[in-house]
Structure 1
């Protein structure tokens, strides 16, 4: 993924995803339900028991807001028609997202694979998930045309990004690393 407006040198920088729309929602009514602290021994994350329910009850409103900015419509008829990169967090949150949106296991395969292989790497996790989606798409010749990047943060914030992938043929022809 290249972040920026236009890659200066297309022999080095090759965009993989275009950011279409992004939004952040602070879930109302509870402060400190999810905290992240850096300590000498690593990252310490605490989660209140209400977090999975709070996220799932606010998720569709957040997605509607982001999609209305991206498509002038807050309606997606089938959440399984797009690809998902969901930050791993806690298993209960992950499972609640899947259930709330009615996602098939395949939609979250890349997220589950990264969780199993690497665990929760904080913000870097989503980059690994996007890379897993890209690798699978290139190997299988699939076109990942639309994606949702979904993450959760302290307080409780829900971060939503709508992405569009660059055509795979353009990436595959110029990709400097084996997939």
Structure 2
């Protein structure tokens, strides 16, 4: 189960403004949100509540992954962030998406709860690698985190709006389903 960790790798002199969120801070905030949802799932006592929380987790992860795949990961690759690390992240996303599809499509699946727990473990590992390695390397590579953050925040809002109109189907586009 993911545990809450303080935001790491954010310089004290971060030049973030309200209109242009820092990309890495935005992603770390998403990580904390999903960790909190997994904790709520773990402490929920009835099936209906767990299913609603699981849907919320899946939708949040789908939006987060799509924003990373469309904007953040390509920028990291362009900046020269370790290609092995980026490839591993893409594979982890593909694996998570498969579990997300199974969780959202498995209303009668007796293993759906186990799938949510496995997803939480996979996401915990993924978050540790992103925050402990990828984000550090992205900052060192000189990624324009403010500019990326603005683009990412706009795309995230767009995807969240699409999820709000069709909550049982996470945001997905052809660009999001292929590894970059």
Q: One fold, TM greater than 0.5?
A: no
Q: Which has the higher contact order (CA 8 A, sep 6+)?
A: 2
Give the structure-2-normalised TM-score. 0.25
Query: Is the radius of gyration larger for structure 1 or structure 2?
Result: 1
